[in-house]
Structure 1
Amino acid sequence: MAGVVRPDSKVLGVVVLVRHGDRSSFYQNAADYTPANTIITPLGNVQEYLLGQNLRSIYLTSNSSSFISTINSDVVDHDQILVRADGGGEGGVIFNSAVSLLQGLFPPTLNYDMTLANGTTIVGPMGGYQSVPIESVEPDNDISLEGWTDCNAFSKATKAFYNSDVFKAKASENTDFLQSLRPYLDDRPITFENMWNIFDYMNVQSLHNKTFLDSLPPTYLAQARHLANFHQYGVFSSVQPNGIGNIAGQTTLPSILEGVQRIGSSSDPLNFVYQAVSYKPFISLFNITQAAEMNPELAGIVNYAAAMVFEVRESDSGGEPVIRFNFKNGTEDSFRTYNFMSSTDDIPLSTFVNTLEPFGFDDLPTWCNVCGNTEDRGCAELVAAASRASQAARLESKPAISAVGAGFIGAGVTIVVLFAMLGVFTFLGLLTVGFGKRKAKRGKYGYDTDSTEKS
């Protein structure tokens, strides 16, 4: 049930997931969702900027009932905000969307200034424009915001869905409608497996191409969207929370859970976590959290600039913080509170974390194992390192020989194991070896951006 009303309580902070804004045409392989490149449009920038302003009016404005009182709402405090953006699938669209949203969230202010040693006061450009650090999450280095890419198990599950009776029945029911779309699709494949690409093309053309919009029958876009919702919910969800169809949400969960826990800790300054993503994590998270089960209208593709907010609030009873779930489906919609996790009330923080934590992972070894991948996104390096360590262990376990020979072999084994471990640690970002620039150290959630340059 959407739009539920609950008593106001103090907001300690928020974890926000946002879909990117409007972009140009985009194509995804219907079998494994390998993407093509695309670019953001001026409309997309505006959509994200307006969302940033909306979030500011709710959480960073002192007369709002949901004002986060401990946050510096004028000049951004980098210890209080954490921003991550998917740097993969849709090129720079998601990252650029984050830039636009942050312009609305933290607008220019003359208070963004500094005084130099010579007494000169400098204000940021454009009337105090503020730049907020954004961590670009590159899929080849971090699987957390794009868990489905190169995931063999996910591709197999997608194929199984396409071969299922329910999918074939839906395709058969809509054969005539799909064929009626032929004049409008510019020779694109008209198959139900390709339904997402069909809808996305129609949606983009309806926004950008007046001739197309004028020629398209009035109900066709809504019909295509309905079928695409069925299609994508079937691909990016599973009946069981730990099912492979939910992988887009599973790999995003750890950063959400750590975000709410950090916000709920009185010793941590973090107040605002913002993750810029595609539409896919929304579908999986709606399913994992039972939000779609309790609110069936959520079972589908979210609009551009849609936003999911997990509010960390003080409990009315004075106990541990609670989580409230709000959602806004694009620019034309308003934020509403939704029931989720089989509850009609706010969820205690510990319940939220303990219930969802078993279904989430963002570490590469687990991902490689779950996806059955030994080659891509760093899995090959892990396999090679494990093989070297295994060989070293076997060498060490061979029958003893002379004391002198054993000494040489023991030293050699130690060196081999050491280098194997160094390889694993280096690959996982726990250790950096080399000259010149020192890489940012990756914690479980975010980066230490300090670096040194070779002079």
Structure 2
Amino acid sequence: MRASLQSGLLFASLSAPFVDAERVLGAYIYSRHGDRTPKVFGNTALTVLGYREVFNSGSYYNGRYIAEDDSAFHIQGISNSTVQAKQISVTAPDDSVLQNSATGFMQGVYPPTSQNVDTLSNKTKQEAPLGGYQIVTVGTTDTNVDSESSTWLQGSSGCSKATVSSSSYYTSKEYFDLEASTKDFYQSLAPVLKGAFAEKDMTFKNAYTIFDYLNVGRIHNETKPNVTDAQWIQLQSLANNQQFNLAYNSSETDGVRAIDGKVLAGEILSSLNDTVTGDGKFKLGVQFGSYGTFFSFFGIMQMPAASVDFTGVVDYASTFAIELVTDEAGPDFPSSDKINENEKVISWSKFVSKTKEVAVTTDTEWCDVCGNTDGKCATSDSTDSTSASSSSSGGSSGGVSRPVAGVIGAMVTLAVILGLGALFFLVGGFTVAKRRRGGPEMSNATTVTGDKKA
């Protein structure tokens, strides 16, 4: 496992590979959208700042994976300057904020190229518009539809049992206790909430929407909301608490409340499996989604057991990436007996088996977990080999199709901001060792030292 740190719009990564002669064979990136307008008024839109945030994030990954063949993390065989459609897959829900964020991100991953010139039969030259802007198709996932227009993300998952599970939080003792104990706090914010919220709505039930409204004001308004630092910390903490509990419930045996995280786990497997089964022809999967999916994924991967930081809403344009690597020398795709698991790398076979324990990988499985009987679930018996999200990756099934024990190490780079600052990442069941890195753009980095649950 490998972890890196995102700070503001700069990323800090470990400067050297963990294994000798390590080659990156493929990767999967999951990202939140950039800065946007507040939810409370509806019709949310990506801001110029948000566009810049996702573009900068994509530019980082261009430097890490694309631009330089001699980069320690360059994806072997990926096209350097001109995007090759068969090598990548980019998806986002049918939502303008997320779709536009994915487009802006890919502009950073593959910036304009001056090579986009056609010579016609009459020998005239036609240059591509916008300085060689590269068009990257963003596919549509069938989960989290219109999520950024909803003040309650989990309610848009389409999963009946997940909606019921999340709704039950509002009848729990924990919720009622917090609603009662924070009533005066939210009412004290009336002077800065008037005009956006009715007085009856200034309660813990709207914890995230209130936080989101004030957060946008702090970022964009010249006259910032008159909220003290202590109040701001409390607002953020309460919003984190509410939203995490709506997205994940550790006491559930089926984990249905975290269905979006389960589907994401299946999509990650499907995407990386395309790289493995295609001998590296498919290189990079990219998906955009909401902070709610981050929460669900964190929960099912047991990250909160390692740190409470994983129960905080990730900042705009936060990402995590999972990399397929090998230490076998040479340009060829590795065979199954050329790499062994070590303390820094999870073998492909273990990554598959551990992830499949929590993942939803087919429509049939999704329908069974969710209890849905309409739509695609009306004929789910015939879709056992179909990924739970129809456009999740480069075209293979959601199930992993062949045993490749020990072929590749699945390494995780997590570049995310949580809560008030940049915090540490790992996959549940792994211990963390902190160390200082030098350089003006570097901060604390973390490395995972071994699987303690295997």
Q: Same fold (TM over 0.5)?
A: yes
Equivalent residue for 2:184, pick from 176, 180, 202: 176
Q: What residue is the counterpart of 2:138 in the other structure? A: 134
Q: What residue is the counterpart of 1:370 in the other structure? A: 369
Secondary structure at 1:251 match in 2: helix
Q: What residue is the counterpart of 1:263 in the other structure? A: 275
- Name which structure has the greater RCO, CA cutoff 8 Å, separation 6+: 2
Q: What residue is the counterpart of 1:280 in the other structure? A: 292
CA gap of 1:109–1:21, structure 2 versus 1, over 3 A, is same
Secondary structure at 1:128 match in 2: coil
Alpha-carbon distance between aligned partners in 1 of 2:121 and 2:162, rounded to the nearest angstrom: 58
What's the % identity of the aligned pairs?
29
Alpha-carbon distance between aligned partners in 2 of 1:288 and 1:363, rounded to the nearest angstrom: 18
Q: What residue is the counterpart of 2:126 in the other structure? A: 122
Aligned residues: 363
Q: What residue is the counterpart of 2:352 in the other structure? A: 353
Q: What residue is the counterpart of 1:10 in the other structure? A: 23
Query: 1:166: Cα distance to partner?
Result: 2.7
Q: What residue is the counterpart of 1:409 in the other structure? A: none
Counterpart of 1:288, as a letter, is I
Q: Deviations over 1:37-57 (max 9, x none)?
A: 311111111111111111111
Query: 1:374: Cα distance to partner?
Result: 3.9
Alpha-carbon distance between aligned partners in 2 of 1:248 and 1:94, rounded to the nearest angstrom: 15
| TM-score, reference length from structure 2 | 0.70
Q: What residue is the counterpart of 2:37 in the other structure? A: 24
Q: Does 1:311 align with 2:327?
A: no
Bigger CA radius of gyration: 1
Query: 1:103: Cα distance to partner?
Result: 0.9
- Contact in 2 for aligned 1:2/1:295 (Cα 8 Å): no
Segment drifting more, 251-260 vs 262-271: 262-271
Secondary structure at 1:114 match in 2: strand
Q: Does 1:202 align with 2:236?
A: no
Q: What residue is the counterpart of 2:48 in the other structure? A: 42
- Contact in 1 for aligned 2:163/2:257 (Cα 8 Å): no
Equivalent residue for 2:241, pick from 230, 250, 259: 230
Alpha-carbon distance between aligned partners in 1 of 2:322 and 2:236, rounded to the nearest angstrom: 27
Alpha-carbon distance between aligned partners in 1 of 2:256 and 2:346, rounded to the nearest angstrom: 26
- Contact in 1 for aligned 2:285/2:393 (Cα 8 Å): no
Equivalent residue for 1:78, pick from 76, 85, 97: 85
Secondary structure at 1:312 match in 2: strand
Q: What residue is the counterpart of 2:266 in the other structure? A: 254
Alpha-carbon distance between aligned partners in 2 of 1:321 and 1:235, rounded to the nearest angstrom: 41
- Contact in 2 for aligned 1:147/1:251 (Cα 8 Å): no
Query: 1:156: Cα distance to partner?
Result: 2.0
- Contact in 2 for aligned 1:321/1:349 (Cα 8 Å): no
Query: 1:446: Cα distance to partner?
Result: 4.8
Runs of 5+ unmatched residues, structure 1: 29-35, 324-342, 387-420, 431-441, 449-455
Alpha-carbon distance between aligned partners in 1 of 2:270 and 2:365, rounded to the nearest angstrom: 18
Counterpart of 1:194, as a letter, is N
Q: What residue is the counterpart of 2:433 in the other structure? A: none
Query: 1:101: Cα distance to partner?
Result: 0.8
Map residues 408-447 of structure 1 onto 2, 5 A cutoff: 445-446=393-394
Counterpart of 2:131, as a letter, is G
Query: 1:366: Cα distance to partner?
Result: 3.8
Counterpart of 2:358, as a letter, is F
CA gap of 1:268–1:299, structure 2 versus 1, over 3 A, is same
CA gap of 1:98–1:146, structure 2 versus 1, over 3 A, is farther
Q: Deviations over 1:101-153 (max 9, x none)?
A: 1111111111223333333343321221111111122459999x989523332
Structure with greater helix percent:
1
Secondary structure at 2:169 match in 1: helix
CA gap of 1:444–1:142, structure 2 versus 1, over 3 A, is farther
Alpha-carbon distance between aligned partners in 1 of 2:105 and 2:144, rounded to the nearest angstrom: 25
Equivalent residue for 2:230, pick from 219, 222, 227: 219
Alpha-carbon distance between aligned partners in 2 of 1:238 and 1:353, rounded to the nearest angstrom: 23
Query: 1:295: Cα distance to partner?
Result: 3.2
Map residues 48-67 of structure 1 onto 2, 5 A cutoff: 48-62=54-68, 63-67=70-74
Query: 1:368: Cα distance to partner?
Result: 3.7
Counterpart of 2:316, as a letter, is Y
Secondary structure at 1:215 match in 2: coil
Query: 1:160: Cα distance to partner?
Result: 2.2
- Contact in 2 for aligned 1:18/1:276 (Cα 8 Å): yes
Alpha-carbon distance between aligned partners in 2 of 1:111 and 1:146, rounded to the nearest angstrom: 44
Secondary structure at 2:130 match in 1: helix
Q: Deviations over 1:214-243 (max 9, x none)?
A: 522233222211111111111111215741
| TM-score, reference length from structure 1 | 0.70
Query: 1:298: Cα distance to partner?
Result: 1.9
